[in-house]
Chains A and B, each alone.
Chain A
Amino acid sequence: MSASTFALPATDTMSGHRLDFLLVTDMVEPGSRVLDVGCGDGALLSLLRDRKNVDGRGIEISREGVNACLAKGLPVIQGDADTDLADYPDDAFDYVILSQTIQATRQPRIVLEHLLRIGRRAIVSFPNFGHWRVRVDLALKGRMPVTENLPYSWYDTPNIHFCTIRDFVELCREVGAQMEKAVALNAGGKPMQVSLPWWVWNLLGDQGVFLLKRK
């Protein structure tokens, strides 16, 4: 689940932090309680702790990731988003973050419902399968896209539930999630103009980042 990124994440040249992480960090209120589902090596949790003074927790499927987090002093448990979110009580966190992970879950809809149940707000970021490069690959080559940024073949990829930005918006509607913020990041990791219509985001957006709230 960790680091199964679709596009190589762009980083801020000044701080070295991933731009999508910085965007997520901006969405979080200081001092809040945060659960990062699929927290990898704890980079986002560390950032949230250092910049927003959050009380952060994590779930990570890989032992290497968990050990890296423990070494940073982050309380992270080894677990699986598909099976372990059910054990968390309602409203346990101010934010539950699912960063670059939803496409690797077996049941994205159920996972999303858990996020909205456990957290007062959910922040979900994911690679946009509607990006024009992906469409071109499929349209012209007739093959599932395999590129430098998308290195897996269809049969060995951990990313089993890709979606487009529009697909995700539809899922949010189905589970009754209210979109408080939606941002598309371009290939350079920069937020695209808010005024652009959905179809442009869906075509040119490399990633979608959504701040959601239970209705």
Chain B
Amino acid sequence: MRFGADEPLMMDSGIALAPWQIAYQTYGTLNADRSNAVLICHALTGDQHVANDNPVTGKPGWWLTMVGPGKPVDTNRFFVICANVIGGCMGTTGPASTDPTTGQPYALNFPVVTIRDMVRAQGALIDRLGIETLFCVIGGSMGGMQVLQWAASYSHRVFAALPIATAARHSAQNIAFHEVGRQAVMADPDWRGGRYLLEGTRPSKGLAVARMGAHITYLSEVALHRKFGRNFQDRSAPTFSFDADFQIESYLRYQGISFVERFDANSYLYVTRAMDYFDLAAEHGGSLAKVFKGSATRFCVISFTSDWLFPTSDSRAIVHALNAAAASVGFVEVESDKGHDAFLLEEPEMFAATRGFIDAAARVRGIA
């Protein structure tokens, strides 16, 4: 979806971005009442290909467990929309897009993006699609931040909200991890001050290291131990070198290498920054309860026991604020040892809660 020079995206940084475009996928059919639209918000390195094969990687959609025919987000019943975030690199305008004033990639001239900017861009898309009220907005991690921002900025346009494994503000520890990742990218000589596309290089090593570090935070100690333990990789003894002796090393290296093939390094800087800046209460004098005051949206908050990146205490803070605001909220902490990534995986308890919440909300909304 393209927006011309006369339809700029007004960003939190004060910059009016134009022209701009947003890449999205849809599944299912919008009903006559236009009341069955579900917006899925993707996480940091996700994209719009939630339930179809990814054209870049060839891999299946990233949330096939949750979205599809007969799944909790049933594409036979709902019109499902998923859009690439502003600042991303899968078709929506971002730092790798061409700056019309220079004819060159934006690189670091791209305005710094916030979660609210991402939601504004999605709002413009939803407007264009002729949808006034979204039946449900769903997302995990950074996607959950967008869900909360939707509920805060466009409360009247969100009938139900399902923020999963997320927080109303990014913690100091999480900002710290992101900073390590960004410094890894910027320390790569091939980053060239962000101008690598112009200069024909790619900061692959730096971005891979960033991904390796981040990937650890998505897992849990228990899951790592179960999957890899201290097992050697294709060998029976240490090689007394810095080769990838351990399976976990080999695994992380693979994660790093495969990531750089699909993700733009500058986008990684921008999108991590958006998460760092996220602090929903700050917009309302520090009171999260005020953010949701008078909200008619129905919320269901889900967290995971072993998620130490977005721990249950973060979700409870959201729930407490919603309670204090007298909003309608359900909350369940799912028992899982898979860490933050659990929300993307096979977690029957999460599916049961999601299905129950969505089906009940659909009955109230009058969706068949």
- Scoring A75, A88, A92 by chain B CB atoms within 10 A of each residue's CB, the highest score goes to A75
**A148 is an interface residue with CB less than 8 A from chain B:** no
The answer to whether A79 and B331 have CB atoms under 8 Å apart is yes
Give the size of the chain B interface in residues (CB under 8 angstroms): 28
Q: How far apart sit A57 and B322, CA to CA, in the bound complex (Å)? A: 12
Cβ A73 vs Cβ B361 within 8 A: yes
Task: Tell whether A67 is near chain B: CB-to-CB under 8 Å.
Answer: yes
B3 at the interface (CB under 8 A from A): no
Report the contact-size class of chain A (Cβ under 8 Å from the partner).
20 to 34
- Which residues of B244-299 are within 8 A (CB) of A? 298-299
Cβ-defined partner of B332 (8 Å) among A73, A74, A78, A88:
A78
Asked if B360 lies at the interface with its beta carbon under 8 angstroms from chain A, I say yes
Do A77 and B360 touch across chains, with their CB atoms under 8 A apart? Answer: no
* Interchain CA distance A89-B357 in the complex, whole Å: 25
B331 x A77 contact (CB < 8 A): yes
A66 contacts which chain B residues (CB < 8 A)? 330-332, 353
* Interfacial residues of chain A within 51-82, with CB under 8 A of chain B in the complex: 57, 63, 66-79
Interface hits, B176-230 → A, CB 8 Å: none
- Using Cβ atoms and an 8 Å threshold, which residues of chain A touch B333? 63, 78
A87 close to chain B: CB less than 8 A = yes
> How far, in whole Å, are A74 and B329 apart by their CA atoms in the complex?
9
| B352 close to A (CB within 8 Å) | yes
Q: Are A71 and B349 in contact (CB under 8 A)?
A: no
Task: Verify A73–B352 contact, CB threshold 8 A.
Answer: no
Residue in A63, A69, A76, A77 with the greatest tally of chain B CB atoms within 10 Å: A77
**Inter-chain contact B329/A77, CB cutoff 8 Å:** yes
Q: Say yes or no for B363: interface residue by CB 8 A criterion.
A: yes
Contact indicator per residue, chain A 84-112, by CB within 8 Å of chain B (1) or not (0): 00011100100000000000000000000
Please provide the 4 A-B residue pairs with the shortest distance between their CB atoms, ordered closest to farther: A73-B360, A71-B356, A77-B331, A70-B356
Taking Cβ atoms with an 8 Å cutoff, the residues of A that contact B are 33, 57, 63, 66-79, 87-89, 92
